[in-house]
Amino acid sequence: MIGHTFGPMSRGDSDDEMFGKLYDINVIKRISPYIWRYKKYSAIGAICTLLSASLAVLIPYFIKIGIDDYINNPNIGIASQKSGLIKISLIFGLTMFAAWVTNYIGQIYLARVGQYTLRDIRIDMFSHLLKLNLNYFQKTKSGSIMSRLMGDTSQLQESFSIVVMTLADILTLVGICATLLIMNFKIGISSLSVVPLLFIAVVLWQPVAKRAFIAVRIAISQVLSSFSENLNGIKEVQNFNREDNNNKNFNIKTKDHLNSALKAQKLSSALLPPVDILTSTALIIAAFVASKLILNDAAAIGVIIASVLYIQRLFDPIRNLMMQYTQIQRSMASGSRLFEFLDIKKSINKLEINMPENIIKGEVEFKNFHFAYDNNIEVLTDINMNIQKGSTVAFIGDTGAGKTTLASLITGLYPPNKDKGKLSIDKIPIEKYSRSDLGSQIAMVLQDPFLFQGSLKDNLKFNHQSATDEEIINACKSIGIHDYIISLENGYDTSVSERGVNMSQGQRQLMGFARALIKNPKILILDEATSNIDSISEQKIQNALKVLFKNRTSIIIAHRLSTIKLSDNIFVIRGGRIAEQGNHSKLMSLKKEYYKFTESSFQN
């Protein structure tokens, strides 16, 4: 059914300030099916990464064995010593090679899982995006949507590999600590005594770094929003000579992002010196303890050398874990936002009704109907209207009276408010129709039809891919744009620029008419679609409209009297209410709202 709320995604830029929990069970549950699709790659990547970490822990221990059991062992002969060293060297070399190979394979497969997951989530998000009603897009900046689709998905992509790497670092840390304590408890416990100091440093660093990372996210969101806004409004920017001002504003936003990013980088780098200092401190402590043990003949040389190597490696996984802590938080926050987006209710969800293929005949009825965007201020009040199948009606009224809102409700672009009257098509509540039912059988031609990049033919077949060349040509002849198209060098295969900027507005409107005629809808809505047609083309359009209106329900929103006169019934909308209704002759005889409208149109 039609959704009435949009949930947390309506918060706007505040989303950019979110940092997630370290472990969000809802995000884990939602992302798991994506990862499970590639369970084979996931298993190989995880096993190889963990195996590589385990093998890396063994390398210093093999050095200890080589020194204590063979090099510094007076109880064996030279032959045994040589064979033992060759044996341990081979094991050492094979272990290093195996660690490198498993790490390489693990990284390749984890990256593959991440990229496939990223692709699948983006496809699902884009598919979902196309099914949302217009309220969401009016409330949400396009830059924020792009940040969701690109930034958050990229952040979430890393989550699985980060989790595996975190497990590998934990395994490495546990292995190093255990090996240190087993080889020599005194050296191990003394070198580990500095670890709490690192945790204290991280606890102090974390809040400051968190604020810096939030600032970077807010700044990049502002940059994307500004870029998108200027791109969409480039005509207005150039028309009002705003290039310099907008460039300065954009430079300010990019400078803010640069400063935020540099500050975050400084804080990230600030964690390295304490790690190096504590590593050196641990080595000094270990050397002091080891020297005493050597003097007392209580420790072997190999144990001391291996302990030094382990201490040097000890702080790398700790540092990685601290950095991964923040990364996991960001991934969880991104995942939460993404899945909140995917949970936004679609404009109309399909429900089964007792009707073969949900074929629309064309009767439209509003009964005691009220409507408000976001359930706030009413824009339509007590609308009662019955549009008969196959009839042609016109909506007229001042700007903002509610004409386009009425038309958009019929197409299903906006969901009706709950318990605020009834809107039905063929006596069936509109909520019972699927989006595909309405989209395939209702056509709306706007004042400035949007043309997509591609050929003219591709745009004409936009929602009717099975249309033949003959059908396309006949439709264009009926509308009066065929001669223009064949005059182009490539005819119907001529490429269209983005938004159709290489065509005049009048030509784009004629394309919109032709596209609607090819679609052959049961209900046709013209929203100011004849406003930009010149007087020479007007007679052609009037003739084409008579063909277009035949055998279908047609709704006209127009200010051209010549177009309105084609209607069987005219509804005068004023302040969201129906002020008058009737045919042209009846309304003219009343000499009220419609009469004033025609008089002003004639004077204009």
Residues 577, 409: Cα–Cα separation, whole Å: 15
Q: What is the pLDDT of residue 143?
A: 65
Task: Report CA Rg, the chain.
Answer: 35
**Is pLDDT at 600 greater than 80 in this prediction?**
no
Q: What is the pLDDT of residue 368?
A: 92
Q: What is the pLDDT of residues 555-590, one digit of tens each?
A: 988 777 777 877 889 999 988 899 999 888 888 888
Instruction: Report in angstroms the alpha-carbon separations of 373 from 391, 439, 494.
Output: 29, 22, 40
Neighbouring-strand partners of residue 443: 524
Contact 544, 513 (CB under 8 A): yes
Q: What is the pLDDT of residue 180?
A: 86
Segment 133-156 shows an average pLDDT of: 72
Q: What is the DSSP letter of 388?
A: -
Domains belonging to the chain, first-starting first, are 10-342 (1.20.1560.10), 360-603 (3.40.50.300)
Q: What is the pLDDT of residues 152-209, one digit of tens each?
A: 777 776 676 777 788 888 888 888 888 888 888 888 888 888 888 877 877 787 778 7
Q: What is the pLDDT of residue 51?
A: 92
Residues contacting residue 549 through CB under 8 Å, at least 6 positions apart? 392, 524, 566
**Is pLDDT at 281 greater than 80 in this prediction?**
yes
356 pLDDT tier (thresholds 50, 70, 90): very low
352 pLDDT tier (thresholds 50, 70, 90): very low
Contact 383, 560 (CB under 8 A): no
Segment 44-67 shows an average pLDDT of: 88
Q: Tokens for 174?
A: 């546990």
Q: What is the pLDDT of residue 530?
A: 66
**Is pLDDT at 242 greater than 90 in this prediction?**
no
**Is pLDDT at 5 greater than 60 in this prediction?**
no
Type and span of the H or E element at 193: none
Count CA within 13 A, CB hemisphere, residue 583. Answer: 6
Handedness of CA 376, 378, 380, 383 (dihedral sign): positive
Q: What is the pLDDT of residue 95?
A: 92
**CB contact burial 559-575 (16+ within 10 A = b; e otherwise):** bbeebbebbebbbbbee
CA dihedral angle for residue 71, residue 75, residue 81, residue 83, rounded to 10 degrees: -140
Q: How many residues does the chain have?
A: 604
Higher pLDDT, 424 or 149: 424
Segment 490-495 shows an average pLDDT of: 87
Where helices occur in 480-519 by DSSP H, the ranges are 482-487, 505-519
* 591: phi then psi, degrees, rounded to nearest 5: 55, 45
Higher pLDDT, 337 or 600: 337
Q: What is the pLDDT of residue 24?
A: 67
17 pLDDT tier (thresholds 50, 70, 90): very low
Neighbouring-strand partners of residue 433: none
Instruction: Report in angstroms the alpha-carbon separations of 102 from 45, 97, 106.
Output: 9, 9, 6
Q: What is the pLDDT of residue 11?
A: 39
Segment 15-41 shows an average pLDDT of: 73
Q: What is the pLDDT of residues 364-416, one digit of tens each?
A: 999 999 998 875 788 899 999 999 998 999 998 888 888 888 988 898 878 88
**Is pLDDT at 273 greater than 70 in this prediction?**
yes
CA dihedral angle for residue 403, residue 404, residue 409, residue 415, rounded to 10 degrees: -110
Residues contacting residue 327 through CB under 8 Å, at least 6 positions apart? 158, 162
Q: What is the pLDDT of residues 287-307, one digit of tens each?
A: 888 888 877 777 788 888 888
Q: If DSSP states are collapsed to H, E and C, what string results for 296-313?
A: CCCCCHHHHHHHHHHHHH
534 pLDDT tier (thresholds 50, 70, 90): low
40 pLDDT tier (thresholds 50, 70, 90): very high
Predicted TM-score (pTM) of the model is 0.67
Q: By three-state DSSP, how is residue 449 classified?
A: coil
Residues 168, 260: Cα–Cα separation, whole Å: 31
Segment 99-126 shows an average pLDDT of: 88
The three-point CA angle 441-401-505 to 5° equals 60
**Distance, first Cα to last Cα, the chain:** 45
Select from 418, 417, 394, 419 the least CA-distant residue to 407. 394
Q: What is the DSSP letter of 18?
A: -
Q: By three-state DSSP, how is residue 368 classified?
A: strand
Q: What is the pLDDT of residues 433-454, one digit of tens each?
A: 877 778 778 888 887 777 877 8
**Is pLDDT at 23 greater than 70 in this prediction?**
no
Select from 532, 524, 549, 571 the least CA-distant residue to 396. 571
